[in-house]
Structure 1
Amino acid sequence: MIRVLLVEDSATMRAHLRESLAADPELQVVGEALDGPQAVELVGRLRPDVVTMDMMLPTMSGLAATEHIMAEFPTPILVVSSADRQELFSTYNALAAGAVDVLEKPRGDASDASWGLRLCSAVRLVSRIRVITHPRARLDGRNRGAGPPPSSGPPPVAAAPVQAAPVPVRETALQAVAVGASTGGPGALTDLLRALPSGFRAPVLCVQHIAASEPFAVAFSDWLAGQTGRDVAYARDGVPLRSLGGRVLLAPPDRHMLIADGLVRLSGAPPRHSCRPSVDVLFDSVAAECGAAAAGCLLTGMGRDGAEGLLRMRSRGATTFAQDEASCVVYGMPREAALLGAAAYILPPARIAARLEDLAPVAGVRR
C-alpha cells in the first residue's frame, strides 16, 4: 500500500485528488493539509510514502514547504501545478529544491478524462524513488537527523573513485557539450550551468526528461535562463552547430534532438527507453559527429537513458562525466553509466563544470 498525503488548499481540488486516488486499491490517502506549515507537520507525524504538493498555498508556499520537507523528512514529492506562469516558476524552483516530478492540474478540456489515471500512475512512479536529504538542506544545516522513509528502490552501487587528476590538454577544440538529465535535473542543470564561466564558448545541448505541455516547456527555458544567466532556448531544426557558441539548447517536448552533418536536427522518430526526447539519441549523434571534440554529462534521473550513449561517446574519445550519487536526487541514469564504465569522471555538477572549463577556451582568457 502506498500512503499519500495531499497538500492542497482548494476543497474542490482536494476532493478531485481524493476521488482519483481512491480508484486505485494500492493507493491510500492518509492525510490532507491545507497550507504549508500543516504539510510539514503532517509529513513528520504520518511519514507518508508520497506527498502531492500544490504550489500556491496560504501561510507558507508550496515551494517553502518542499524545502522544509526535503531538509527535515525527505519524502518523494509530486508537484500538482497549474500552467499559470507564476506557479510554473515556483514549480521549477520546487523541482530544484528536491521535488521529484510534476503533474499539470486538470485543464478543463478533453485531456481531463484520463487525468485521474495519470495521477495514479505518477504517484506510483514517484513512490519508487529513493530520495535524499537535499544538498541545499545539508549545506543549510536544516536536517534534524530524520532518515528517509523505507524504499524498495535499487541498492546503491559503489561508484568509481572520483578522478582527481587534471583533464588532459585537448588537441582539438571542444565542439559541443551534450547533457542528459531526468528526475532532479532542473536543480542539477542549474548547478552545472551556473558554475560555467560566463565566457564559456562551447554550445551546451541538453535533453531534460519532463512531462511538459507547451506552457510548462516555455516556462522551463525561461526559468533556467533566469537561474543561470545564460542564453537558453529550445532547439530549432537545421541550425548550424558552429553558430551556437556559448548558448544552451534544450530538446523540445516530444522531439529527439541530434547533430547530423554539422546541423542541429529535430526528429519525431520512435521513443528510445520510452523517452522522446532521448538522451541516448543525442549522445549517439554527438559521438558520431564530434568524436573526441565533445564532452558528455549524464546527470540525475531514473532509468538508463543515456548510459549506453555516454559509453559510445567515451569510445570515440569524448571526455565523459556522470553525476555522483551523493548529489543526485535519483541515482539511476548515472548509476547505469558507472556500471558500464561509461564515465571517465564521477563528480557533482559544479565540479563537472570546472572540468569542462579546462576543456574549452573561455572568451577573454588567454591559455
Structure 2
Amino acid sequence: MPAGSRIRVVIVDDSLVAREMLTQILTSDPDIEVVGVASDGQEAIDAVARLKPDLVTMDIHMPKMDGIEAVEHIMAYTPVPILVVSSSVHGEGVGRAFDALGRGALEVVKKPEPRDWAELERIGSEIIRRVRILSRVRVITHIRGKLRPPEHLPEGPVHAPMPHVGGSAVVAIGSSTGGPSALMTVLGALPGSFALPVVVAQHIADGFIPGLVAWLQTGCKLRVVPAEDGARMEAGHVYFAPTGLNLEVDGATLRFTAPERGQLYIPSADTLFRSVARTHGRHAIGVILTGMGADGAAGMKMMREAGAHTIAQDEETSTVYGMPRAAKEMGAASTVLPVGAIPAELVAMTSED
C-alpha cells in the first residue's frame, strides 16, 4: 500500500445491518475507504479479485459459501490480509472463527451488534486499530512452510551457561498475529506424555481466550485451559493468560498482575518471560512465535541470560515476522526454527538426561 494512500477495505457479511455498522465504523476514520461489500463467500472471492483491496473483513456463517471456504480460496489465489469479524465469542461457533485463522486469516475480533450500543465506541476503535495494523501485513499464498534444519545462532552476550535441558521445569510461549494456527502446529504435535507445563501469552481480542482454548483442545493431546490466578501448574497442561491481565509464574504457581501504565500488549509476553527467568532460570524453555511488534524479545533475552534455552520461529513460516525478528536481532533466541520443527525440539530437550 503506497504511503499516504487510504486503506481500501472490502466488507463481507450476510447481514445488511452488520455491513452497514461496519461501514459506519470504518469510514469514521478518514484514512479508511470501504471499496466494496459482499454477502457471501463467492461474492467475496469475486470482489477481492476485482477490487484488490488492502484488507478484507470476513464473517464466518453465510449462505452459499461460508467464510472458511472463502478465506481458503482467497489466500490460495489472491492473498490479502483478512480480519475475521465474528459474533461467535462463546460456544461451538467460535471454533469456526479459529478455523479461518488456520487457513490464513490474520486475526479475529468481535462483530459489533445492535445490542452493543453501550460499547460500540470501544468495539469500533478496536476494529479500526486492527484494520490499520493488519492492512500493512505482507501476506503470501497460504502454504505451510517446509521443515528445514535448525538455525543455531552465535552465543552473543550470554552470561550464564546453556541449561541442562533435561532438568527443565516449564515452557513459556509468546505469540500474537498468526499465533493461533502456529500454536496449533506446536501444541498439537506434542505428545500427551509431555513432561512439562506450558504457559502462553497470546495477544487476542477480549473475550476470545475461552474459544481459543476450546479450539486448540480439539487438536491437542495436552490439556489446554485458561489460567487461574493462584493455581499450581501441572505437567501436560497448557495455561493461557487472560485478556486484560498479565500472567506471571511464581515457582509452580500462576499469578495474575495488572498491566503497567502505558503497556501496549496485554497480556504481555515480556512480563511472562521475565517472571519465568526470575523463578526458573536455566530450568526453563522460552518460545517466541509469529507476531507484530517486539513484545517478548526483552523478556526472552533475560531468560537466555539466565541460562534458559530460547527458540524463535523463523521468518519463512511466520505470518508476521515481528516478535521473532526482534528476539533474533536482540540476541535473545539461541535457536531459530520453522514452526513445524519446534515440537520435536521441545520433546528432544525435555527427553535429555
Task: Mark yes or no: TM-score above 0.5.
Answer: yes
Counterpart pick for 1:97 among 103, 116, 139: 103
- Structure 2: distance between partners of 1:334 and 1:91: 25
Task: Using the TM superposition, give the Cα deviation of residue 261 of structure 1 relative to its aligned residue in structure 2, in angstroms.
Answer: 4.0
Pairs aligned (count): 335
Amino acid aligned to 2:314: D
Task: Using the TM superposition, give the Cα deviation of residue 161 of structure 1 relative to its aligned residue in structure 2, in angstroms.
Answer: 7.5
2:222 pairs with 1:190:
no
Alignment correspondent of 1:179: 173
Alignment of 1:139-154 (within 5 A): none
Alignment correspondent of 1:71: 76
- Structure 2: distance between partners of 1:253 and 1:84: 15
Alignment of 1:16-27 (within 5 A): 16-27=21-32
Counterpart pick for 2:91 among 70, 85, 88: 85
Alignment correspondent of 2:157: none
Alignment correspondent of 2:152: 163
- Structure 2: distance between partners of 1:106 and 1:44: 27
- Structure 2: distance between partners of 1:282 and 1:171: 19
- Structure 1: distance between partners of 2:259 and 2:10: 38
2:279 pairs with 1:286:
no
Amino acid aligned to 2:128: C
Alignment of 1:207-226 (within 5 A): 207-213=201-207, 216-226=208-218
2:6 pairs with 1:12:
no
Amino acid aligned to 1:290: H
Counterpart pick for 1:128 among 115, 120, 136: 136
Map Cα deviations across residues 265-291 of structure 1 (whole Å, 9 max, x no partner). 111142674122100011011111111
Counterpart pick for 2:8 among 3, 10, 15: 3
SS at match of 2:177: coil
* Structure 1 residues 59 and 45: CA distance shift in structure 2, 3 A: same
- Structure 2: distance between partners of 1:289 and 1:113: 41
Task: Using the TM superposition, give the Cα deviation of residue 88 of structure 1 relative to its aligned residue in structure 2, in angstroms.
Answer: 1.3
Alignment correspondent of 2:58: 53
Alignment correspondent of 2:295: 305
- Structure 2: distance between partners of 1:271 and 1:87: 35
Task: Using the TM superposition, give the Cα deviation of residue 21 of structure 1 relative to its aligned residue in structure 2, in angstroms.
Answer: 2.0
The alignment-based identity, stated in percent, is: 42
- Structure 1: distance between partners of 2:163 and 2:282: 12
2:200 pairs with 1:206:
yes
Q: Is contact 1:262-1:289 (8 Å) kept? A: no
- Structure 2: distance between partners of 1:7 and 1:230: 35
Amino acid aligned to 2:55: V
Structure 1 gap ranges (5+): 140-159
Alignment correspondent of 1:115: 123
- Structure 1: distance between partners of 2:191 and 2:150: 26
